[in-house]
A and B are shown apart, each in its own frame.
Chain A
Amino acid sequence: DAGVIQSPRHEVTEMGQEVTLRCKPISGHNSLFWYRQTMMRGLELLIYFNNNVPIDDSGMPEDRFSAKMPNASFSTLKIQPSEPRDSAVYFCASRWTGVNTGELFFGEGSRLTVL
């Protein structure tokens, strides 16, 4: 299996621009998580989906952030408009919840820099 695939790996953009981060979970996994990692706040859970349905988005910072999962093999995290404080590494992770002892598999992350 190819693992969790995230794109782009690196993104540099100007303040005010729209940013879209993409994630392809491992085939067969039915739960998907978006995390943000910064030096100041560590690893923050932004949102997670079960069976393509958003379960908890309480970690989404504000209305500028939105996430979708139109099908089991694809998810996006969108920031519009972006701000310098959004600079971070964004991780997508997936797991199978058929047996709720499942390991969470992470992608390699998308490093976002907003100038």
Chain B
Amino acid sequence: AQSVTQLDSQVPVFEEAPVELRCNYSSSVSVYLFWYVQYPNQGLQLLLKYLSGSTLVESINGFEAEFNKSQTSFHLRKPSVHISDTAEYFCAVSPTSGTYKYIFGTGTRLKVLA
């Protein structure tokens, strides 16, 4: 079975400041890792994903996440946030084989303050 833990339910941060959203997972099998973003009144959209290879992955809008196998973590970071980054962010895992289950964390609400 898999589980995902996002310890921070809300993260307020000032514009242009750095931010880190934490994600830890538990799984008895190999998994792929994902970050999704949800803007108000919308569905979730893929932000970035780790499948294999380099442990550091980046999105087109400046976010990055690093896969740490020993710590079973996949934290999301951005060096300088914008007001438009205000949204809810979800970490997710999916097994690399077998079932195609997709498990999400409880989400972290990022609020960027002017």
Q: Which residues of A does B touch, CB under 8 Å?
A: 4, 31, 33, 35, 41-43, 45, 48, 50, 55-56, 91, 93, 95, 97, 100-101, 103-104, 106-109
Contact = CB atoms under 8 A, between A and B. Distances in A.
B35 to A, nearest CB: 11
Contact of A101 (B45, B49, B90, B103): B49
B44 interface: yes
Interface stretch (B17-25, B66-74, B78-86, B94-102): B94-102
A56 B49 CA distance: 24
Interface of B: 32, 34, 36, 41-46, 49, 51, 90, 92, 94-97, 99-107
B92 to A, nearest CB: 8
Given A33-B102, A48-B101, A103 B46 contact: yes
A42 B105 contact: yes
Interface majority SS on A: helix, strand, loop or mixed?
strand
B43 A4 contact: yes
Nearest to A9: B41
B45 A45 contact: no
A103 B100 contact: no
A55 B46 contact: no
Contacts of A95: 100, 102
A31 B43 CA distance: 17
A46 to B, nearest CB: 12
